[in-house]
Structure 1
Amino acid sequence: MQKKLNKSMYLMGFILTIGSFLNFLYAQEKPIVVQDVLKRSHSFTKPVTRIVSLSPAVTETLYAIGAGATLVGNTTYCTYPEAALEVQKVGGYSADTISVERIIQQQPELVIGEISMHRSLENTLKEAAIHFFLVDITRIEDIYTLIQNLAIITGRSAEGQALTKNLQERVNRITNLVAKKKTPRPRVFWEVWNEPLMTCGPHTFIGQILNLAGGQNIFSDLSENWPIVSSEMVLVRNPDYIMSTRTHGEALDLETLKRRPGWANLPAVRNRNIILFDDDIISRPGPRFVDAVELVAKALHPELF
């Protein structure tokens, strides 16, 4: 009786072992499938280990999820983190500066670009039999999607989830702080460019940053992402703050602003509330967008921090 019982137990153990092994093989063979912004499915048999990034935001995100080692090529605009500077450069940011020859030399499994900047490279890369994954990073929601997709592609789903959770917790902390204020939100004019006068719409990640940080974008009623506005429109909306990037600082020098007709009487100019931010932090739609939210919130509501 004991021998029969032992044989049954051995048989059951053998079956369970075989089952586990088959499940392991199935898991190994199960393809990795992700969709790009054009809803095209990209399939890989294993996590991708050789990537060329044409986007500074993509480069930062790969490092943020611990996948920086997968980069075999990026651009001269990929300057963060410091390790990105050591990666082989394939060109600048715009499509006409990208060297497809250099990309091919790096033998990538995947090239990742932004649809607004790099779609024109699609046919050339297709002819070279290179996977080309296009992303759109216009809104903060797109940043979270980018993190998720890159984490799946590189086999770092847990790291992607942890990063997303951390970013969301930091955003919630800031929004909870600014929600405590009972006074009206300060009105903000974000100047993208001065000739022509251009600002950000509410659905861009910069427009969303202003909102999360407790500011009121004076052009939040416009539907365009990067609308051209008139000087008169700014005067009517009477901003308390004027904000932009440091590289645009010359155009926003206080004396220069005072020479714009009527601008000397704006609260932002009278009170010297002209705030400039680091371009890379505020203009790149990557994981550091939360740093941007914190910086803007501290500028608008210093008493909360």
Structure 2
Amino acid sequence: MLIDRLRTMLALALVLLAFGARAEPVTLTDLTGRKVTLPAPARRIVLAQGRHLNALALLHPDPVSLVAGWGDDLKRDRATYDLYRRRFPAIERVPDLGSGAARTFSLEKAISLEPDLVVLSRFADGGGGAAQAGEVARRFEAIGVPVIVIDFFQAPLEETEASLRILGEAIGRPEAALAYNRFYREHLDRIAARLKAPGLARPRVFMHAHAGGPTCCYSPGRGVFDQFIRAAGGHNIGADILPGATGELSPEYVASAKPDIYVGTGGTYQIRSGGLVLGSGVSAEEARRSLAATLARLNLLAISSLPPERIHGMWQLFNDTPVHVVAVELLAKWLHPELFGDLDPAATLREINERFLSVPLEGTYWTSLGGTE
């Protein structure tokens, strides 16, 4: 009799628990102004851009468990992919859907995965051209698949906080997004406040993207890294003549622009080409050695005349993750060492790893020829 009563009470408790845990609909507005309602927080997400897994990792203890399919771009950063694979082996079973670009992303395969949400970047939502904007989203919406657009690339300092908030709402973790956004804003505001000092000079920066590649010198125009340089109190020489987000500068132009500081970017994808190597799994010695070797091979007169403490390298893939706050801090410290002597980008990255990222970044993500970082 008592056992039967206990069983009845347990069954009732389980019913009440299930009812109480029933997810509520989620309504949000994405970067494009699209209003989206999900019947429940998303659990089968298609990421058109695989690198958005890095943003999910700031919000969820097992970001891979949320991904039903993805673009293949994160796999091109094999070292970072391996960080995820070691922590979450199930990542190996996530289906590839092609490139995140609209023309090469497989919508048919994505639809077959029965996602409850598709996450696009601005680039993936039409290839970056105004004529195609919204093309991919419209095709998913036509068959009833919810879509949101977020972006950490095209205008990172304007859209990162909103994008992370949108993503947090979509997966039912708005408090995690709020916590990171608060951390992010505090760090950027501290830099901005000090840069208000009257009469502050803006050093001229030559940012050499994919340093050591087949041609010289690929550089940001008014693109992502240009925003980082300006936020750190510098002037990007590429923005003076490049009409788009990126382009190529001639060695002659670089010399005539007389940069005060050199910042190359690179990653583990440059190991075979002999370029600047930075990122997951890279040692500090390997990073500094690759920076020195890259500059020696290029033999740029405008750079060889700079003192070692003005020659630096930075991880290229800071360009598409909310962790780019570390890149802004690095640039501020390099550009204005007298103003930001107490700034500690390494401590900032440690705090991000410990407080936020479910897959911590482990490796060397910047280096300096002068040996002070």
Specify the alignment match of 1:133 in structure 2. 148
CA distance in 2, matches of 1:99, 1:85: 24
In the alignment, is the contact (CA less than 8 A) between 2:49 and 2:100 conserved in 1?
no
Structure 1's unaligned 5+ residue stretches are 1-24
Matches within 5 A, 1:233-252: 233-247=253-267, 250=275
Matches within 5 A, 1:54-69: 54-66=48-60, 68=63, 69=65
CA distance in 2, matches of 1:76, 1:130: 21
CA distance in 1, matches of 2:215, 2:97: 28
How far did residue 289 of structure 1 move? 0.8
Question: 2:123 aligns to what SS in structure 1?
Answer: helix
CA distance in 1, matches of 2:31, 2:88: 25
Q: Which moved more, 1:238-247 or 1:73-82?
A: 73-82
Aligned AA for 2:256? V
Aligned AA for 2:228? I
Question: 1:250 aligns to what SS in structure 2?
Answer: coil
Specify the alignment match of 1:162 in structure 2. 179
Question: 1:288 aligns to what SS in structure 2?
Answer: helix
CA distance in 1, matches of 2:266, 2:89: 22
2:242 pairs with 1:207: no
Q: Which moved more, 1:97-106 or 1:235-244?
A: 97-106
Question: 1:42 aligns to what SS in structure 2?
Answer: strand
Specify the alignment match of 2:335 in structure 1. 300
CA distance in 1, matches of 2:142, 2:259: 51
- TM-score normalised by structure 1 residue count: 0.72
How far did residue 99 of structure 1 move? 4.0
Specify the alignment match of 1:77 in structure 2. 73
Aligned length: 271
How far did residue 101 of structure 1 move? 5.1
Question: 1:34 aligns to what SS in structure 2?
Answer: strand
| Residues 1:121 and 1:144: Cα distance change in structure 2 (over 3 Å) | same
Question: 2:275 aligns to what SS in structure 1?
Answer: helix
Specify the alignment match of 1:111 in structure 2. 118
How far did residue 162 of structure 1 move? 1.4
Q: Which moved more, 1:44-53 or 1:90-99?
A: 90-99
Deviations 1:87-124 (A, max 9, x none): 31324543355444543453210111223135364465
In the alignment, is the contact (CA less than 8 A) between 2:168 and 2:177 conserved in 1?
yes
How far did residue 213 of structure 1 move? 2.4
Specify the alignment match of 2:313 in structure 1. 276
Q: Which moved more, 1:144-153 or 1:45-54?
A: 45-54
Identity %: 25
| Residues 1:227 and 1:279: Cα distance change in structure 2 (over 3 Å) | closer
2:96 pairs with 1:90: yes
| Residues 1:97 and 1:236: Cα distance change in structure 2 (over 3 Å) | same
Matches within 5 A, 1:11-30: none
Specify the alignment match of 2:348 in structure 1. none
How far did residue 195 of structure 1 move? 4.6
CA distance in 1, matches of 2:68, 2:330: 32
Question: 1:130 aligns to what SS in structure 2?
Answer: coil
| Residues 1:229 and 1:72: Cα distance change in structure 2 (over 3 Å) | closer
Deviations 1:63-82 (A, max 9, x none): 21227243333344334662
In the alignment, is the contact (CA less than 8 A) between 1:32 and 1:152 conserved in 2?
yes
CA distance in 2, matches of 1:89, 1:298: 41
- TM-score normalised by structure 2 residue count: 0.60
CA distance in 1, matches of 2:295, 2:242: 30
Q: Which moved more, 1:144-153 or 1:79-88?
A: 79-88
Aligned AA for 2:219? T
| Residues 1:195 and 1:223: Cα distance change in structure 2 (over 3 Å) | closer
Question: 1:39 aligns to what SS in structure 2?
Answer: coil
Specify the alignment match of 1:216 in structure 2. 235
2:168 pairs with 1:151: yes
Aligned AA for 1:132? V
Specify the alignment match of 1:5 in structure 2. none
Deviations 1:201-225 (A, max 9, x none): 34x3311211222322224456844
Question: 1:199 aligns to what SS in structure 2?
Answer: strand
Q: Which has the higher helix share?
A: 1
In the alignment, is the contact (CA less than 8 A) between 2:69 and 2:97 conserved in 1?
no
| Residues 1:278 and 1:86: Cα distance change in structure 2 (over 3 Å) | farther
CA distance in 2, matches of 1:279, 1:47: 32
CA distance in 1, matches of 2:329, 2:180: 17
Computing the radius of gyration over CA atoms, which structure comes out larger, 1 or 2? 1
